[in-house]
Every structure is written in structure tokens, then in C-alpha cells.
Amino acid sequence: MTLSRDRVSGIQQKTEVALHVSNTPGVLARLLGCLASRTDAVDGWRFYSDHRQATILLVTMREDTVRQALRSGGFDCEASPVVVLEQEHRGGVSAVRLSAELRASGIRILDAYRCGSLRNGALLVLKTTDNAGATVVLEMMNLLETQSLPIPSDLGIDEVDTAHVGAP
């Protein structure tokens, strides 16, 4: 038996395309219409609203395609580089652990959020002061590996996931 949490299935540098629009049905319908033919270019999304204005964050590897689709509908947007951790399900990676490891390497997290993805499960999106360095640190944390150790059978467990032993 292996005790483990949801594992990270990928760490990549991507782009977050952000736009702020009026939170009205007509504007939102027009926005969704622009994106409908380009859903293959959107890896993940996050939406929030204060009832007057909606903010939409689109995570993509194809920034130009997404920006072009938005511009064709008359939408202005801004792009920022991000680091994305892909997981099959939400949870499993301690934000405290990630933040501590990055901070120890001189990298600050400017923003972090989870978002949904039809293709990639749950995404943890990090905006940092050094995305290339953050990617290296995260890869060095061995988040992609599941290492198992045999433990005494009298405990009723065959193996334990060592990636989480001693982790917060």
C-alpha cells in the first residue's frame, strides 16, 4: 500500500491573460463567444466578480491566440508570466511549503490561486518575482516523483510516500 496525496503531474511556465469587463450578461456572452472557438488555447481559467465588474484570468501556452481572440471581440487584456503546477485533483501541495522553499531561494510569490482546467485537472498558478528560478526550485523539490519506502508489516501498511514524510 502507498500513502500519498495528489501528486503534481507537471510544472510549466505559462502566461496569464487577464481582463476586466462589465459584469453584464451581454458583455459576458460576447466574451464567451470570442473564446468559444479558441478553447483549445486556454489551459485554465479563474473568474470572479464584485457584481459590477468581472475579472477573468486565462492561463495559456498560446498567448497570441488568446489575445487575438479577445481583441477580435473588442476586449483589452494584459499578460503576465506565471508558473503552473498541474494536478489531477485539488490539494496535495502545501502552499506553505512552496512559499518557504521559494522564499529561501530569494523568490517571492506575488500572487497565487487555484483554477480549473478541463484537460489538466486543477492548476496551482504562481506569479513570482523570478518565474524561471521558481520553476527550477519547484523541480528540485521532486514534486513530480512518488518515492515509496517499505515499512514494518505489523503497522498494516506496506509502503509510505517519502515525499511527504516530515513535510507540513
Q: Where are the domains of the chain?
A: 8-140
Whether the full predicted model's pTM is greater than 0.85, yes or no, is no
Is the pLDDT at 163 greater than 60? The verdict is no
Q: How far apart are CA 156 and CA 47, in angstroms?
A: 45
Output the DSSP codes for 106-128: T--EEEEEEEEETTTEEEEEEEE
Query: Could you give the CA distance from residue 90 to residue 115 in angstroms, rounded to a whole number?
Result: 9
Q: Which CATH class is domain 8-140?
A: alpha beta
Burial 76-99 (b: 16+ CB within 10 A, else e): ebeeeebbbbbbeeeebbeeeebe
Burial of 74 (0-12, 13-18, 19+ CB in 10 A): exposed
The SS3 call for residue 77 is: coil
Q: pLDDT tens-digit profile of 87-134?
A: 766 566 777 888 999 999 999 999 999 887 777 678 899 999 999 999
- CA 25 to chain CA centroid, Å, is 27
Q: Which three cell numbers stand for residue 106?
A: 530569494
What's the chain's average pLDDT?
A: 81
Distance CA 96, CA 67 (A): 33
Q: Per-residue pLDDT tens for 45-98?
A: 999 999 899 999 999 999 999 999 999 999 999 999 999 998 766 566 777 888
Sign of the dihedral through C-alpha 94, 100, 105, 107: positive
Q: 146 pLDDT exceeds 70?
A: no
- Percentage of the chain beyond pLDDT 70 is 77
Beta bridge mates, 150 = 159
Angstrom CA distances, 141 to 8, 16, 68, stand at 11, 24, 36
Is the distance from CB of 48 to CB of 54 less than 8 angstroms? yes
